Structure 1
């Protein structure tokens, strides 16, 4: 019997819901058909509806109306963090299988509520820890499990947020304020902590963490700086000028019709310079980075001890020129280094010849975002929906473990770096 085509509903028609998961699914017509959409923004909803050929009657502004009945086989939940659990529980009640954007939530009790709902109603939930599906990160897993480098002892990881990405997402953007969203250790490092747990293959025993907001505040504003970059005397010289980061960068890349993060700051399609200028003058992304309502950290160092003895450290920092992850695995018979910025995996067995693996040779870049992980998770979802074993699928239980690690890290940071047990029964 051939595998079936699954119908898909999407709630949250922003970048991840529409431009990433929706686009990938729409490009697999033999596997997925998008049949219903929901978003509180009418303009985004209209754009997605036209793109995916969803009729007006199945485009919903109102969440309650959308959830009045089941609209498809699968629900993609790509809304803001605080909406996830409420919507996922209702989806399980209706009988959906779910692709759930990360993070799940920043509340431990909500993690427990969702886990209980899944056990009660059944249904599959795959959380979007997309790096588990990226060829480079899968290659590291393969090498570690091969035994070539012996037993894993310690992991040293750096999450290079990049100065411009910090300004976009965590100073001006949706994840800037702790009162409105998850803490940065969860919002940005959800992937990284999931990978630490994935590679360690163990529950985490304890965590300690330190970090703060060192730079993006009024104390560091240039003299005479304006509240908005378009009106600022430093518009051409400031590193964080929104005009430079959005408009000049877009022009330098050849004015593409649909480029991230420019596509996030305006709903105009195709992108145009007037639309971008309007967004910077009127919207949140045109604000001075030293005059925003941000209060999340711009650097944080966390140490984890796993129950099987593996130790791991994670440095998240805004103060890097480029993005990408750098992970060093220290093993009893050698070391392994993944460096996304250089584009190589280095395999260094002790006393033997070393080798370098070009990440591009693994094929991930040909399949889009997160080194092919965005595409990979949609393929894994399809396998799981058909009852096949999908290697690396992030179960809800595994995802909740990494969320708990992140939330305990934030509690430790707020307590001045105090070492905390990850599980209450410790």
Structure 2
């Protein structure tokens, strides 16, 4: 058995970004940038009005309350501004300013006046002083040409998509999604919705891992239920290799029981064992190897929470490396209540973050942590990790807090 951090290091040894793909912006959400993104154009691309009102050519002076201005034209968004010698223009939000305009007065601060008898041009009177430069969005005020928008390794979500689209970028280079194949062992496992025979249990881990793989930025290419048959297991690995899997995951059959055949089966096919057993709770029996054909293999224990912890804290760091992302940032918060644990084990508990009445976040470990209990985990919002060396962590001590997945930051709820 090896320590948790050594296990992560062995899995990630030599791992880097797998490959890149160029995708249209509509397909970029949830992907990780493979290159830095640099703006080609200014944003805004031209000086424009920040609100509906009147643009003035005030020659850099304060436009005084009570002053009257004759309107030369009306400029809408998308119009080319007139090249005239007027000093005032009706203007809409986002419309380009005439070259001489240096101030925009909002509609709420003007009075519309009737034209003089011999004139037909509308006039306005200002209701308050207006400083030069007011209510104007300047060219490049948000983004300058050549400015770096995002670093490689950035996850693209809706907010990033908005900026990329606004900057006129329609395609981006992203990391290829790691391809994962899942092999679920155990003759007692029954598909969800199927009748349960005596001694059978519904398969909770395969649906969970399928969703977790996608949420982690990877792609599930194969899910195979193999019972406890070694020949079927070997055939499923051959199929996973043939479909280009970067990682083969299995659930169950990695401990020391008479049906735990996975380590021996991989040894017979020439796989290079990386470790068997990690000093972590839950999930200690986890097994990892490198297949002779190249893909990684990680055998997770069969209990659902052990599976979840093994995937979150061993597999996801490897996925980050394959996606070209930096190691996950460490987030720490004070522990709400003292907690005991076995010294020497890297412990991961599910729980919640609560904000007290004074706005202070605390990490709250759920009471029920048994590996088979699904209901308490379904009500959790974070993972909470405790250091390996101590057997008791006191209330107020800083502990690690992690989202359910590496791409999902921790969330909190009111007390």
Common topology (TM > 0.5): no
- Structure having greater relative contact order (Cα 8 Å, sep ≥ 6): 1
Task: Give the TM-score normalised by structure 1.
Answer: 0.25
Task: Give the TM-score normalised by structure 2.
Answer: 0.26
Larger radius of gyration: 2
Query: Higher strand fraction: Structure 1 or Structure 2?
Result: 2
Query: Higher helix fraction: Structure 1 or Structure 2?
Result: 1
